[in-house]
Amino acid sequence: MGKSKVEDEKSAQSKDEKGSSDDKEDTKKYGEPRKHDPNFNGPIKKRSCTDIICCLLFMFFLAGMVACSAIGYARGDPYKLLYPTDTSGRICGYDAAVKSKPYLMFFDLLDCAKLGTAVIYTGCPTPQVCVSSCTTSYYVWAETVAKEGAGTKTASDRTTDMLCKEGVDPTTPSTANIYSDLISTEQCASYYVPTTQVVGRCIPSIFLQLTDWAAQLATTDGTGLVDSYGNNVTGNGLNDASYWIAKFMSASEIVELVFKDIISSWYLLLVFLGIAMVGCFLWIILLRFIAGIMVWLTIVLVLGCLGFAIYYSYSTYYDLKNQNITATWQVSEAFALNFSYYLGLKETWLAFGCTLSTFTTIFLLILIFLLPRIKIAIELIKEGSRAIGNMIFTLFWPIIPFVLQAVLIGYMGISAVYIASMGDSSYYTNGTNTTQDTINYYLERIPCSPNDTTLGSYCDFVKYGGTEYIIPMQVFMLFMFFWAMNFIVALGQMVLAGSFASYYWAFDKPKDIPAFPLTASLYRSLRYHLGSLAFGALIIAIIQMIRVVLEYIDYKLKDSKNVIAVYGKNFCTAAKDAFFLIIRNVVRAVVLDKITDYVLFLSKLLVTAGVVEDLEMNDGSPEKPYFMSKGLMKILGKKNTKDPNEKKKGCCGCC
C-alpha cells in the first residue's frame, strides 16, 4: 500500500517535470523568457535613442503640414464658404457693396437643369445677384408689358418689380425694345417665383403647393410664366433645376454650416471643453475613494439615459404619426439632405427607437453575464487609485494630452477650412447667343476675365475653380491628423506606463518609489523614444487611412452590384444609378439597412448563445449529448459518444 503511494508520487512528479519541459520548449518558440535580476527595480536609466530615422521623418512631415497650412492661410478665404457669391464675384453679406444683401437669387433656374451633371463642374450659368430678402411673389416681364399696354400698369410699376444685376438701372431706358434687350441679354430676370432661403440661396418654395407638377406655373391672374427663350416654366422644370443646384452646393454645404456654427459659438465650445475636462478630473478623484459606487452609478446612469432616449424617440414618433406630418419644408427635397429635415420625419424617430431598444437589450444581457468581471474591474480600479495616490501628479497628466489633442483638432479644423476655400474665382462668358442645345450651351461658356472691357457685363462669375491641388492637400492633412493624434496618444500612454512601472517594481511602497516618477518618464520618452512613438503612430495612421479609403469605396460601390444584377448595366453606370437611387430614398435606405443589420446581429447573437449554452450544459456523453449540428461540432472539436452498452441492430431491427 505504502509502496504504491510512493510510486504514484514519483509518477506524478515525472509528469510535472515533463509538462514543465514541454512548456519551456513551447515558450522558446516565442523568444527566451527574461531571467531573474535581483537588482532590477523598474525602468532602466541607461538607454539610447531608438528609431532615429522615424523621428526625423516625422519632423519632416510636420514641416510639410505647417507649409500646407501656411499656403491655406495665405490664399484661402473662409467667407467664400460662409456666404454665397454673385455673378460679379462679390460675396453676399460680406463685401462692402453687398453688405446688406446676404442672400443669392438665381435669374433662371432652368439654365441649371439644361447642363445636367455638368453643372457640378461648371456651376449654374444663369446670372445670380445678391438680394436683401428672397422674393415672395410671382413676376413675369411679358405680363407687365401687356398690362402696361392695356393701361392697367405704368412703366414705374414695371421697373419697380424688375430684378436686375448690380449696376443695371431699369429706369434709364425709355422704350420697351430696350427693356426687352435687358431681358434677352440676361441683365434682368424674365420671371421669378416665391422663394425660401436655404443655406443663403433663394430656392423656389412652391413644390408642395402644386397639385400638378407638370402644369405651367402662373401668376395670380392666370398669366403663365415663361423664361427668356419663351418656354413655359413648370413645376417639374424648377424641381429638376433645384436638384442640380443642390448637387452643386452639396460639396461645400456641410463645411459652410459647420464653419458658420464655429464662428458664432467658438467661445461656447471652449467653455464646454473646459467643463468636460474638469468633470473628467473630478470623476477620477471620486474613483480614488468610491470606485465601486462610481462604477455602478455610471452603469445606472447609462441605462437611465438609454431608457429616456427610447421613451423620447417613440413618443416623438407617435406624435408625428398622429399629426400626419409628411414633410416640414416647402422646398425641394434635394435641399433636405440634412438633420433638420429628417428630424421632422416619423420614420427617423422609429429608427432611433428600434436602434436604441436593441442596443439597450444587448447592453443588459452583457451586463448580466459579466457581473463577476465587473467586480474584478472594480478591484483593478481601486488598485490603480492607490497607485495614483502614491504618484499624485499622474492625476494631472491627462490634462496635457487633452490640451494637445484639442489644439491639434482646432488647428486641423481651421487649416481644412482655409485650404478648402483656396479656389480662385472662375469667370465665363454668359452666352448671350446661346441656343437651347445643351452641347452648344456648354461650349459657349468660355473662360474670361472680368477686367476685359471688351466683354463688358457679359463676363460672369460662375464658381471657384483652380482646386486641383486642394484634394491632395486635404488628404495629406488628414493623414497628418491621424499621425499626430496617434503620436500624442502614444506619448501619453508611454509616460503613464513608465510612471506606473516605477510604482509596480518598487518592493517597499511607497519608500522605494523614485522621486518625480512622472517627470522622469516624460524625460525618457522625449529624450530617447520620440522615434519609436512616431514609428508606432505612423503604422496606425497608415492603417486608418487605408480604412478610410476602403470605407469610402465600399460606401460608393456596394449597391452597384444590385443594379448590375437587375438591369445588366456596366459597372460605372450601375454605380451611378445605385447612388442616385439611394439618395432619392435616403430615409427608407437608412432605416431598412440599419434594422436589417440589427436583425442579423441578433440572429448571430442567438445562435452563438445557443451554442455556448449547449457547450456548458452538455458534454457529448449519451446522457448529455450535444444538440448542435455535426458541422459545428467538427469546427469546435466536439463529438457525441455512443453508449457502449447499446446493442447494434441490423437493417431489419430484429438482430
Least confident piece of the model among 54-68, 141-155, 510-524: 141-155
Least confident piece of the model among 4-8, 94-98, 113-117, 604-608: 4-8
Domain contains 331:
yes
Domain count, the chain: 3
> Does residue 106 register a pLDDT over 80?
yes
> Are 188 and 296 contained in the same domain?
no
Least confident piece of the model among 38-47, 105-114, 211-220: 211-220
Of 228, 253, 278, which residue constitutes the final position of a domain? 253
Q: What local confidence, expressed as pLDDT, does residue 162 receive?
A: 79
151-160, 233-242, 533-542: range with highest mean pLDDT: 533-542
Domain contains 445:
no
Is residue 155 within 8 A of residue 143, CB to CB? The reply is no
Nearest to 412 by CA among 471, 468, 479: 479
> Are 271 and 162 contained in the same domain?
no
> Does residue 411 register a pLDDT over 50?
yes
Domain contains 455:
no
> Are 193 and 325 contained in the same domain?
no
Query: Cell for 228?
Result: 427668356
> Are 214 and 357 contained in the same domain?
no
Q: What is the mean pLDDT of residues 453-460?
A: 56
What confidence category does residue 41 fall into, taking pLDDT thresholds of 50, 70 and 90?
low
Question: What single-letter DSSP state applies at residue 164?
Answer: B
Strands of the sheet with 128-131, listed across from one edge: 128-131, 103-106, 201-204, 195-198
Q: What local confidence, expressed as pLDDT, does residue 328 receive?
A: 42
Q: What local confidence, expressed as pLDDT, does residue 292 receive?
A: 81
Q: What local confidence, expressed as pLDDT, does residue 293 receive?
A: 84
Domain contains 613:
yes
Q: What local confidence, expressed as pLDDT, does residue 63 receive?
A: 95
- Expressed as residue numbers, the domain containing 99 is 84-253
> Are 209 and 321 contained in the same domain?
no
Q: What local confidence, expressed as pLDDT, does residue 515 receive?
A: 74
Domain contains 427:
no
Return the percentage of the chain with pLDDT > 70, whole number.
55
Is residue 427 within 8 A of residue 459, CB to CB? The reply is yes
What confidence category does residue 566 fall into, taking pLDDT thresholds of 50, 70 and 90?
low
Question: What single-letter DSSP state applies at residue 630?
Answer: H
Cα separation, 534 vs 520, in Å, equals 20
> Does residue 193 register a pLDDT over 90?
no
Is residue 397 within 8 A of residue 403, CB to CB? The reply is no
**Helix, coil or strand: residue 608:** helix
- What is the pLDDT of the chain when averaged over all its residues? 71
Of 335, 357, 390, which residue constitutes the final position of a domain? 390
351-355, 392-396, 561-565, 574-578: range with highest mean pLDDT: 351-355
Domain contains 103:
yes
Cα separation, 233 vs 226, in Å, equals 5
> Tell me: the pLDDT tens digits for 255-296?
555 666 666 677 787 788 778 778 877 877 777 778 788 888
Is residue 138 within 8 A of residue 235, CB to CB? The reply is no
Q: What local confidence, expressed as pLDDT, does residue 535 receive?
A: 92
Q: What local confidence, expressed as pLDDT, does residue 467 receive?
A: 61
Domain contains 484:
no
Q: What is the mean pLDDT of residues 197-226?
A: 52
103-107, 385-389, 426-430: range with highest mean pLDDT: 103-107
Query: What phi and psi, each to the nearest 5 degrees, are found at residue 56?
Result: -65, -40
> Does residue 624 register a pLDDT over 80?
no
> Are 125 and 216 contained in the same domain?
yes
Q: What local confidence, expressed as pLDDT, does residue 550 receive?
A: 82
Return the percentage of the chain with pLDDT > 90, whole number.
9
> Does residue 540 register a pLDDT over 90?
yes
Q: What local confidence, expressed as pLDDT, does residue 589 receive?
A: 55
Of 390, 410, 436, which residue constitutes the final position of a domain? 390
Q: What is the mean pLDDT of residues 150-156?
A: 58
> Tell me: the pLDDT tens digits for 220-257?
444 444 444 445 555 455 555 555 455 545 445 555 55
> Are 106 and 209 contained in the same domain?
yes
Higher pLDDT, 280 or 97: 97
- Where does 116-234 have alpha helices with state H? 119-122, 141-150, 155-161, 176-184
> Are 320 and 196 contained in the same domain?
no
Query: Cell for 303?
Result: 441605462
> Are 112 and 230 contained in the same domain?
yes
Domain contains 472:
no
Q: What local confidence, expressed as pLDDT, does residue 461 receive?
A: 62
Query: Cell for 589?
Result: 435606405
Q: What local confidence, expressed as pLDDT, does residue 215 receive?
A: 39
Query: What phi and psi, each to the nearest 5 degrees, are found at residue 15?
Result: -65, -40
> Tell me: the pLDDT tens digits for 486-515?
999 999 888 888 887 777 766 666 666 777
> Are 274 and 240 contained in the same domain?
no
Q: What local confidence, expressed as pLDDT, does residue 554 receive?
A: 72
Residue 335's Cβ-side half-sphere holds a number of Cα atoms within 13 Å equal to 22
> Are 194 and 249 contained in the same domain?
yes
> Are 90 and 237 contained in the same domain?
yes
What confidence category does residue 332 fall into, taking pLDDT thresholds of 50, 70 and 90?
very low
